Amino acid sequence: MEAGRKLGNNSANDMGSTEERWQAFFANPMEWWDNRKDKRNPKYPDFKHKDTGEALWVEGRYNPSWVKSQLAILDERMGSLRDQDSRMRLSSMSGDDFMSFS
């Protein structure tokens, strides 16, 4: 048998790699596609890394216990940033930016 070869589905190894992927996600969430709103198939991942294709599921079997609470915080912060960005774009427009349709 080869040294270092994984036998079967070792949940301890899966937990480590799953936890590492979630840590990578929270360290750089903009490097991941957020598919939660557009999922057509429940088996499709909630998040997918834009370069590596690594996948994460919010309801993943081996997710660390902290994932959902951290995701709620991230969603709240991202929502605040989107709202702030929208307000900044609107406030930077002047009357000359709009076309007259009369």
The answer to the question of residue 96 being in a domain is no
The answer to the question of residue 1 being in a domain is no
pLDDT surpassing 50 at residue 5: no
C-alpha atoms less than 13 angstroms from C-alpha of 38 in its C-beta half-sphere? 5
The answer to the question of residue 44 being in a domain is yes
Q: Which of 39, 25, 38, 41 is nearest to 75 (CA)?
A: 25
The answer to the question of residue 94 being in a domain is no
Does the pTM exceed 0.75? no
38 is in which domain, residue-wise?
17-86
Mean pLDDT confidence for 52-62: 96
The answer to the question of residue 24 being in a domain is yes
Number of domains the chain is built from: 1
Percent of the chain with pLDDT over 90: 59
The answer to the question of residue 68 being in a domain is yes
The answer to the question of residue 42 being in a domain is yes
* Model confidence band, residue 88 (pLDDT cutoffs 50, 70, 90): confident
> What pLDDT shows up at residue 94?
57
The answer to the question of residue 102 being in a domain is no
